[in-house]
Amino acid sequence: MKIKGIVMLSVLIACSILAISYTTINKSPKQFKNISLSLVEGFSKDVQKSLLLFIKEQEKMSCSPTVLASLIKETFPSVNKVIIRSGKQNKVHVKVKPYVPLLTVNDSFFLTKSGKLVAVSDYHKSYHLTLPAIIINKKAQESLEISSLCKQFIHHCPTELMKEYTVTWYSPTAVTLQDKKNKKCIVLAHNETELSESLLKHCKQVQQEAVHNNASKHKQCWIDVRFKNQIIIRSEWEELG
């Protein structure tokens, strides 16, 4: 009887310990009890709202800071950096930074400094009004990728030039620059053409002379500068892409 009583007492004690442990685990505070969010300027209002809702949802999941940062970057293409700082009483501060856009591509995307394409809708409208733009022929753009040669051309192309001309990339050997004020003047270049201010100024002079001497002044004037030390005037040019 004494042995039986001792065994029962031991079982009761073990059950009590398990019950206390279970209660303690379930009542333990979540890893992210309170999350505060700050966003670096640049995100659109829709992205800001979505980020806040997403982070609040992750608060319930009690994931680690590293996992949270990865999830944010995976879910939001415009997010470049996520900085997470833990405070007292399980409070967490999350700071989110966007990629910096360099120019607009086909009015639908921004090309960032890292070479990534991000939807225009992810950013504040002010960017679309101030950034230079480039048009990339659909056949020259695969999905959300831009060729390395195109990126090199964009990198070396002066910003002011892209504001003054409508730049269209067809291929490494065919890039057009159409004067926004005089749409009859179209310069035809390649990806390594040095588009200096003096060259473009000379192209405008050539175009004016060509139109003046041409009986049909309504035709566009193609000025081909793809060949070294040569400027070729074309009255027409086969459509690309």
Average confidence (pLDDT) over 59-84: 86
pLDDT of res. 21: 43
7 pLDDT tier (thresholds 50, 70, 90): very low
Tell whether 141 and 67 lie within a shared domain.
Answer: no
Q: How far apart (Å, rounded) are the C-alpha atoms in residues 194 and 180?
A: 20
Q: Which are the contacts of 4, defined by CB distance < 8 A and separation ≥ 6? A: none
> Which tokens is 170 given?
């067809």
Is the pLDDT at 73 greater than 60? The verdict is yes
Same domain for 90 and 138: no
Q: Do the domain assignments include residue 25?
A: no
Average pLDDT over residues 179-203: 87
Q: Order of strands, edge to edge, in the sheet holding 109-112?
A: 117-119, 109-112, 101-105, 133-136, 165-171, 174-179, 185-189, 221-224, 232-234
How far is residue 111's CA from residue 74's CA, in Å, rounded to a whole number?
18
Higher pLDDT, 139 or 175: 175
Domain around 183: 132-234
HEC readout, 61-125:
HCCCHHHHHHHHHHHCCCEEEEEEEECHHHEEEEEEEECCEEEEECCCEEEECCCCEEEHHHECH
Tens of pLDDT, residue by residue over 125-134, are 888 888 889 9
Tell whether 153 and 227 lie within a shared domain. yes
pLDDT reported for residue 68: 85
The torsion region of residue 196 among left (phi > 0), alpha (psi -120 to 50) and beta comes to beta
188 domain residue, yes or no: yes
Residues 138 and 229 in one domain: yes
Assess if residue 85 is contained within a domain: yes
Task: Tell me, yes or no, whether 126 lies in a domain.
Answer: no
In a domain, 39, yes or no: yes
Write down the pLDDT at residue 152. Answer: 86
DSSP secondary-structure letter at 131?
S
pLDDT digits (tens, 9 = 90+) for 16-41: 544 444 443 344 434 555 777 788 88
Give the number of C-alpha atoms closer than 13 A to the C-alpha of residue 48, restricted to the C-beta side: 10
Structure-block tokens of residue 178: 């159409």
| Whether residue 140 sits in one domain with residue 229 | yes
Q: Which CATH number belongs to the domain containing residue 55 in this structure?
A: 3.10.20.310
**Domain shared by 80 and 139, yes or no:** no
Q: Is the model more confident about 141 or about 179?
A: 179
Question: Is 92 among the domain residues?
Answer: yes
- Asked if residue 44 is part of any domain, the answer here is yes
Same domain for 197 and 141: yes
Number of domains in the chain: 2
Report the amino acid identity of residue 185: C
Are residues 150 and 62 both part of a single domain? no
